[in-house]
Amino acid sequence: MPESGLLLLNGLDRHMLGAPAWRRLVAAAPQFHENHVLAGTFAYNLLMGRRWPPRPGDLEEAEALCHELGLGDLLARMPSGLDQVVGETGWQLSHGERSRLYIARALLQGAEIVLLDESFAALDPETLERALRYVLGRARPLVVIAHP
């Protein structure tokens, strides 16, 4: 959680807008150690924060986004695809797969601003280039925090 600084959206900060309105406008993928894969389906982990249960179009959008981020092979390996249970009691995801899940989760919120904090650090160069190209094309305003 930030200790100082100010982030404005259309001239208003989080306190002026209120937390629920702020969460509708700003989607974030926190650093890896501050983010979580919950015990549930892969679809649930992708679409949490959006409406649930998902509509068919939501699942199609989530699957297409996964393919764009290079998660198509993962979906093909999982016996139940998007309905595969993941997390502590289910299918285990690699560090890079989890990072791309967090990116997808943020993008699927449909927020005005997407904030990605160290989201690309676990990706190999080829996957990084692919994911970054896709994110830059999809996200409206985008804030990327990256440390050399």
- Percent of the chain past pLDDT 90, that is, above it, reads 61
pLDDT at 132: 92
Burial per residue of 74-111, b for 16 or more beta-carbon CB atoms within 10 angstroms, e otherwise: beeebeebbebebbeebbebeebbbbbbbbbbbbbbeb
Residue 9 placed within a domain: no
Residue 101 placed within a domain: yes
pLDDT at 14: 85
Residue 1 placed within a domain: no
Q: What is the per-residue pLDDT across 59-110, written as a single tens digit (0 to 9) for each?
A: 999 999 999 999 999 999 999 999 999 988 889 999 999 999 999 999 999 8
Residue 4 placed within a domain: no
Cβ-Cβ contacts under 8 Å for 146 (sequence gap 6 or more):
118, 120, 121
Q: Residue 137: CA atoms inside 13 Å, Cβ hemisphere, count? A: 9
Residue 37 placed within a domain: yes
Q: How far apart are CA 91 and CA 134, in angstroms?
A: 26
- pTM to 2 decimal places: 0.89
pLDDT at 2: 57
Residue 5 placed within a domain: no
Residue 111 placed within a domain: yes
Residue 95 placed within a domain: yes
The pLDDT of 116-144, averaged and rounded, is 91
Amino acid identity, position 141: P
- pLDDT-based confidence at 45, cuts 50/70/90? very high
Q: How far apart are CA 95 and CA 121, in angstroms?
A: 10
The pLDDT of 43-54, averaged and rounded, is 91
- Count structural domains, the chain: 1
The pLDDT of residue 1 is above 60: no
- CATH label of the domain that carries residue 76: 3.40.50.300
148 Cα distance to chain centroid = 22
Q: What is the mean pLDDT of the chain?
A: 90
Q: What is the per-residue pLDDT across 10-31, written as a single tens digit (0 to 9) for each?
A: 888 888 999 888 888 889 998 8
Identify the domain containing residue 43 by its residue range: 14-145
Closest to 70 (Cα-Cα) out of 31, 115, 124: 124
